[in-house]
Amino acid sequence: QKEVEQNSGPLSVPEGAIASLNCTYSDRGSQSFFWYRQYSGKSPELIMFIYSNGDKEDGRFTAQLNKASQYVSLLIRDSQPSDSATYLCAADGGYQKVTFGTGTKLQVIP
């Protein structure tokens, strides 16, 4: 069974610090990886996607992919209280399906 695993947290970081969120996946055939942010009671919203090994930066967010280790991460620089949410990692699972992890809850402490 194809799986995406994340630590459920909560991960607590002080305001202004770097938050590091991690994810591993089991399907070596996955090509694209996604990070979604989900505020409590709301639907997930796409933050970033990555498909090449290495880093991809977008503002305060950096996604990192290591296909050899089957590892994806999301770094949030200068964390703000508004970043407090659950972050879902997802991987494409072939046949047009995306498999989601259970999410990591991030708490940014003012």
Partner 1 sequence: SQTIHQWPATLVQPVGSPLSLECTVEGTSNPNLYWYRQAAGRGLQLLFYSVGIGQISSEVPQNLSASRPQDRQFILSSKKLLLSDSGFYLCAWSLGTGGVGGTEAFFGQGTRLTVV
Tell me which residues touch partner 1 (CB under 8 A): 31-32, 34, 41-46, 49, 51, 88, 90, 92, 95-103
Q: How far is the CB of 43 from partner 1 (least distance, A)?
A: 4
- Which segments of 6-70 are extended strands (E)? 11-14, 19-25, 33-38, 45-50, 54-58, 61-66
Closer to partner 1 at the Cβ: 45 or 78? Answer: 45
Q: How far is the CB of 101 from partner 1 (least distance, A)?
A: 6
Q: How far is the CB of 47 from partner 1 (least distance, A)?
A: 10
Closer to partner 1 at the Cβ: 69 or 96? Answer: 96
Q: How far is the CB of 15 from partner 1 (least distance, A)?
A: 25
Q: How far apart are CA 55 and CA 62, in angstroms?
A: 7
Closer to partner 1 at the Cβ: 82 or 96? Answer: 96
Q: Let me know if 86 is exposed, middle or buried by CB neighbors in 10 A (0-12, 13-18, 19+).
A: buried
Closer to partner 1 at the Cβ: 14 or 31? Answer: 31
Helix (H) or strand (E) holding 102, with range, is: none
